[in-house]
Amino acid sequence: MDIEKIINLIIWGGITLFCIIKWLIITIKIKKYIKVVGKVVNSKKDYFYSGDTVSKGNHCKYHFEYLDKTYDIEDNFSSGNPKLNIGDEIIFYVSPKDPSKYLKPEDIYFRKFYFIGIIVGIGALLLF
């Protein structure tokens, strides 16, 4: 086996493994959480600072109800998140033990991209 094939196998195998792990983590978490529908109450573009890194995204506030109790969540989402407008309905997955703990909507949104990454990665591995 030549070095080029080995490098391709390592790269595509790594990409496939990464996508499988991320997809499985989100899928397992979803099964432990309860699906609720919330609404976007506020959404604005913003810059977020993490150490020396600056990224652009959305700062959103959501409102949802679970077991006749109202919850408000504020969070920052990366620029890869689909554009959210005030009044848009959005799916949340909340912990049944503590509904203030939730999966970010962007995690659910990116789950399908990890699945596509798995398919592409396996396809690329089969070519080599």
SS3 string, the chain, reads: CCHHHHHHHHHHHHHHHHHHHHHHHHHHHHHHCEEEEEEEEEEEEEEEEECCEEEEEEEEEEEEEECCEEEEEEEEEECCCCCCCCCCEEEEEECCCCCCCEECHHHHHHHHHHHHHHHHHHHHHHHC
- pLDDT band at 49; cut points 50, 70, 90: low
Instruction: Give the pTM.
Output: 0.58
Of residues 49 and 23, the one with the higher pLDDT is 23
> What's the average model confidence in pLDDT over 8-21?
89
pLDDT at 18: 92
What digits encode the pLDDT tens for the residues 62-100?
Answer: 888 888 888 888 776 654 555 677 888 888 788 888 888
20-24, 100-104, 108-112: range with highest mean pLDDT = 20-24
Q: Is the pLDDT of residue 35 over 80?
A: yes
Q: Is the pLDDT of residue 34 over 70?
A: yes
pLDDT at 77: 63
Of residues 88 and 55, the one with the higher pLDDT is 88
pLDDT at 41: 85
